[in-house]
Amino acid sequence: MNNFQYKKEITVTTALEAVNSNENAAFIAGGTNIIDLWKYNITNPELLVDINGIDELRTIQELEDGGVRLGALVKNAATAYHPVIEKKYPLLSKAILAGASAQIRNMATDGGNLLQRTRCYYFYDPDVPCNKRVPGSGCPALNGRNRMHAILGNSEHCIAVFPSDMCVALAALEAVVNVMGPNGSRSIPFAEFHRLPGDMPHLDNTLQQDEMITSIDLPSNHLYKHYTYLKLRDRHSYAFALVSVAAAFEMDGNEIKKARIALGGVAHKPWRNTEAEEFLKGKTATADNFLIAAENVLFGAQGRGENDFKIPLARRAIVRACMMALNPETQRPGAGPSL
Amino acid sequence: MRSSPLWSIMLTVNRKDYELEILPWVSLLDALRDRLKLTGTKKGCDHGQCGACTVICDGQRILSCLSLAVMKNGSEITTIEGVANGSELHPLQKAFIEHDAFQCGYCTPGQICSALGMLTEGKAQTREEVKELMSGNLCRCGANAGIIDAIMEVKKGGDHE
Ligand SMILES: Cc1cc2nc3c(=O)[nH]c(=O)nc-3n(C[C@H](O)[C@H](O)[C@H](O)COP(=O)(O)OP(=O)(O)OC[C@H]3O[C@@H](n4cnc5c(N)ncnc54)[C@H](O)[C@@H]3O)c2cc1C
Ligand code: FES
Ligand code: FES
């Protein structure tokens, strides 16, 4: 645990200048991830730039096209319980509320949630190698304890999973991440925000070192009637997902007009397979069709031993989540993840 | 860059104002316990995993171990020491005693502050929902059933099963 300098900035421009003045500087928003990592000696910032005073990033705004913009500093709890989100994007509310604890959701910000690091045990132990923490040092999880690790999109350099629940819903909703850097702003489609490990597992996402997330846009859609977020974990609450599924449909009677399926806990990023979604289009909503879609989503899945169980678990979880999404009873407030 | 690493901050804790000179890496938890000598708030894991350090900050339950004191400059904080009204225990405190909602008592300050925050949020109606929204507070003595009983008793208009 190192000592660090602290600076509070109240505009995006000055916060970017501050963080770009020192290559070991970092933003701090809710602090729930960076303080934890600092205490474990996994991250050693020389300067923390507190962005909580940037008021323009603290609002939820309805957009003219029917979409919604989440400011990067809006708290996870405030997002989940916001009346507009509950109405237009209940899948997002449900996914957020499946994550962490009430106290942490009161602290964590929407921008920070996208940037949380993996919970891989080797990443969290500074005394062992880890390609994500120390590039080139190796990956003990490949042939070690890998019960929580990835089954999709792996490389021989890293099998860590990205742990966010909120981001699984954002992937299914095709959110867009708005960022600001020294050279202006750009918008990143959600599917391109997080990345697969490849030979650079130290990079979790495509945000540049000198950029800040300013907001997340949710495009207008009709996925608020038939949806669910199913999270499977070692205990009923307050644990990270082993496998999670965000499923949402637009239906015409029993016919699927549009399908979205995203998985958490299985890869280095929220996992989507648009082919499986295309397959379901125009099909009748039956367990058999969902099983074909599930096989499609899991195409190429590979276990590394302890995590082999995740493949059948994910297959069944997809089918069950899709069935749940059709059933309004599972969507009443407070409904548990069961049928 | 500033020459002195010390920051002057003001915290209102249990309705009393405190001025502090503080290093930026001191957690709110350590500031409360070591500087203000308010040792009712407990350090369980120091990593956000147990809820023992829960306090109410500007009306919301948060974890003081993952908060930097310097970032709470100007905030209003309630700890377990500020929950009773003088010598009159808060109804939740009375209910905890009545329902045997503790054994060692280490998790209790965090449980009570968290329950206060949950009641203010008003999102839990049923016992199942109370359990879910109290899941950030672990009790290693296993007094959970009594804890939920105590909260359900205080909660008005809820479904008491
Ligand atoms: C015990 C525990 C259990 C948890 N369980 C879950 C769970 O089940 N599911 C789940 O999804 N999450 C879980 N979490 C993780 C939690 O959701 C994240 O820690 C949180 O969302 C991070 O947000 P923050 O605002 O606190 O980020 P911070 O810790 O403030 O920041 C995280 C990172 O993002 C950077 N950053 C922050 N904001 C910006 C910005 N606007 N632009 C650029 N960079 C920025 C920081 O520099 C830092 O590197 C858990 C956390 C804990 C401690
Ligand atoms: S001490 Fe803060 S959560 Fe355990
Ligand atoms: S009473 Fe001992 S930890 Fe809860």
B7 touches chain A (CB under 8 A): yes
B60 touches chain A (CB under 8 A): yes
Reported as a pLDDT band with limits 50, 70 and 90, residue A329 is: confident
How far apart (Å, rounded) are the C-alpha atoms in residues A39 and B6?
Answer: 20
User: Cβ–Cβ of B66/A107 closer than 8 Å?
Assistant: yes
User: Is A78 contained in some domain?
Assistant: no
Percent of chain A with pLDDT over 70: 98
Average pLDDT of every residue of chain A: 96
CB-CB neighbors (< 8 A) of A52 in chain B: 71
Strands A47-50 and A25-28: parallel
Amino acid of residue A119: R
Q: What is the pLDDT of residues A72-97, one digit of tens each?
A: 999 999 999 999 999 999 999 999 99
Structure ipTM:
0.96
Residue ranges of chain B assigned to CATH 1.10.150.120:
91-157
Whether the per-residue pLDDT at A147 is higher than 50: the answer is yes
pTM of the full structure: 0.97
CA of A285 relative to ligand 1 center, distance in Å: 36
B81 touches chain A (CB under 8 A): no
Distance from CA of A109 to the nearest CA of B (A): 13
Percent of chain A with pLDDT over 90: 96
Q: Does ligand 1 have an atom closer than 6 angstroms to the CB of B5?
A: no
The domain total for chain A is 2
A102 and B118 Cβ atoms separated by less than 8 Å = yes
CA of B109 relative to ligand 3 center, distance in Å: 10
Reported as a pLDDT band with limits 50, 70 and 90, residue A334 is: low
Mutate to test the pocket of ligand 1, among B47, B67, B137 (most ligand atoms within 8 A of CB): B47
Whether the per-residue pLDDT at B161 is higher than 70: the answer is no
Which string of DSSP letters, residue by residue, matches A148-191? T--SSS-BTTB------SHHHHHHHTT-EEEEEETTEEEEEEHH
Nearest CA to ligand 3 atom 4: B139
A151 and A267 Cβ atoms separated by less than 8 Å = yes
Q: Which CATH number fits domain B7-82: 2.60.40.10, 1.10.300.10, 3.10.20.30, 1.20.1630.10?
A: 3.10.20.30
Closest CA to B116 of B105, B98, B130: B130
Q: Which residues of chain B from 119 to 158 reach within 8 Å of chain A, CB to CB? A: 121, 123, 125-126, 128-129, 131-137
User: Cβ–Cβ of B66/A106 closer than 8 Å?
Assistant: no
Reported as a pLDDT band with limits 50, 70 and 90, residue A121 is: very high
Whether the per-residue pLDDT at B1 is higher than 90: the answer is no
Nearest CA to ligand 1 atom 40: A213
Mutate to test the pocket of ligand 2, among B42, B49, B108 (most ligand atoms within 8 A of CB): B49
Whether the per-residue pLDDT at A328 is higher than 90: the answer is no
Mutate to test the pocket of ligand 2, among B33, B47, B114 (most ligand atoms within 8 A of CB): B47
Which pair of structure tokens corresponds to residue A56? 């323009």
Q: What is the pLDDT of residues A37-76, one digit of tens each?
A: 999 999 999 999 999 999 999 999 999 999 999 999 999 9
Say which CATH topology domain B91-157 has.
DNA polymerase; domain 1 (1.10.150)
What average pLDDT does the segment A112-136 reach?
Answer: 98
Buried b (16+ CB within 10 A) or exposed e, A163-201: bbbbbbbbbbbbbbbbbbeeeeeeebebeebbbbbeeeb
CB-CB neighbors (< 8 A) of B2 in chain A: 5
Whether the per-residue pLDDT at B160 is higher than 60: the answer is no
SS3 A311: helix
What average pLDDT does the segment A216-238 reach?
Answer: 95
| Atom nearest to B49 CA in ligand 2 | 3
CATH code: domain of residue A231: 3.30.390.50
What average pLDDT does the segment A13-21 reach?
Answer: 98
What are the residues facing A43 on neighbouring strands? none
Q: For residue A30, give its domain range.
A: 1-53
A304 and A159 Cβ atoms separated by less than 8 Å = yes
Closest CA to A53 of A117, A113, A109, A2: A109
CB-CB neighbors (< 8 A) of A237 in chain B: 131-132, 135
A251 and A241 Cβ atoms separated by less than 8 Å = no
CATH code: domain of residue A46: 3.30.43.10
A167 and A268 Cβ atoms separated by less than 8 Å = no
